[in-house]
Structure 1
Amino acid sequence: MTLALPPADELTVAGRRVRCRIAGDGPPVVLLHGIGRTLEDFADVHAGLARDHRVLAVDLPGHGGSTPLDERHTLPTLAAAVAEFLDAAGVTGPAHLVGNSLGGAVAMRLAADGPHRAASLVLVNSAGFGREVTFALRLLAVRPLARLLLRPHPAIARRTERAIFHDPSYVTEARLATALAAARQPHAARVLLEVVRSLGTWRGVRPEWRAELLDAVAALGLPTLVVWGDRDLVLPTAHLSYARSRLPAAQGHLFRDTGHMPQIERAAEFEALVRRFWSPRGDAGPA
């Protein structure tokens, strides 16, 4: 198994290396991955969307091939770093923000802090809609266990990947190699722990930042689509109902027999869904 991140583009932003993938022309689309992950989680839909959009996927600071920040990695600092990346890439107007898991919360924070940057939100099994989260992430708040759980070991990577997908065939050698390459970056464990501990405790996700963020997003009135996989083992499907109650104007969609990453397990359906949502009619179809 060759442990290396797949080829991608690179920008220098505020003196930091930012690994990204930019392709296509048209309205801008920004793809934001989850905690401990990389932009490869959107590789299956990137090329399709780039047929008629300018699609920008980025490794968040301290993730994958992107240099960590000089300050602590929290939701506001990650969102601010994405804003700097967009400025460096020449995207200064509204973009369609698409975020999976932590990336969904980053997308919401980015929109709340800079409403001019957001044309719409697509929140994919997004953090921010409930206290419940996989036990593995809650354990990372327990200091004696964290370093042990974050060892870049093939067995740990395989177990993590297996928890993300409902269909085990998506746990490929290529995905395992990417996960291990990202985990072996010298700063990876530190960054992940900073993010986890800023957002939650061993009891679950903190309510304070969630309430403030959802109030701010609801006030924006942005076109919003919230999608979930019904077999998600990381963030439970019940969060979709809560999202609809907190963002009553949002559209919702539940993918059957799908885990934490519908953009991979249901790539073609996911692309079709967001295209309908972005269409002039703006209707993603039946919930």
Structure 2
Amino acid sequence: MDLRKMYYFDATVKYQSFSRAAKALHISQPSLSNAIKSLEEEIDGPLIERTTKQFRLTELGQQFYERSKGLIAQFEVMETELKELAKGENLEIRLGMIESANYLFSQVIIAYQKLHPHNQITLIDTLYNQTVRQALLGLNVHGVITNQHIIDNEIKSELLYNEPYVVLIKKDHPFAKKEKITLADFAKESLIIGMPEFQTSAQILRVFEQENITPNIQYKIERFEMIKVLVEKGLGIAILPKNYVSQNLSDNLLTCTVHNENLNRNVYLCTMKDRTFPKSILTLFELIKKMG
């Protein structure tokens, strides 16, 4: 069976139209129609209903579509892997990464570039659970550094390190003189937090909920850097990952430990289980595993 015809059929289903699919494939509509008819002859059955104006698959067509999608995906993975293995070097390595791992990963890049100076590294923000999964399964990235524990039959999730959350304050804040800070101390403080849909924020809010404490959230900010700016301006305090705020901290800011055993997080390296990588990419993964 011709893989090209599978691609044509997949595009026809995707666009729900022979004309739109033909345009996307840069072929004529008669050529596309003939390819689908040829496919139906090979299978010995109709794939698309031709008795209605609305585009509709037959039961056989639906079954074929589900099976062919998997075969096309496998072929694309194989094609990508073989091209990378053939090149070995001069690769573009694409990694998804949480903002808070920036400093630690910069140390990895320094070490890696000494070993493989011809490889280019592209870093992409990955903030949502579904974004991580889609990026990996879609081959948009080789791996992802994330604080989300992805449980998926196709994805391998390896623990890199565990880190505590700390409270970020101005140096003149009353917390600076406290011997012991607990979550109860946050009740009357203006709290600056990341977006609730982010894993970091969701985890922090869950710990507050476990302690039956309602935090006084004044600002919800997407980027950690902006959170630091607002804290420095005296607009509130924030709870952030220790590895993120322990580096390049302004002279006006300091961090304090919060006494709560649940206020910490794991950070993982996620990759595709069955994907084959060149040695130069595996070397990068090994350096990442040592970064904690």
TM-score (norm 1): 0.29
Higher RCO (CA 8 Å, separation ≥ 6 residues): 2
Question: Please, what TM-score do these two structures have when normalized by structure 2?
Answer: 0.29
The structure that has the greater radius of gyration is 2
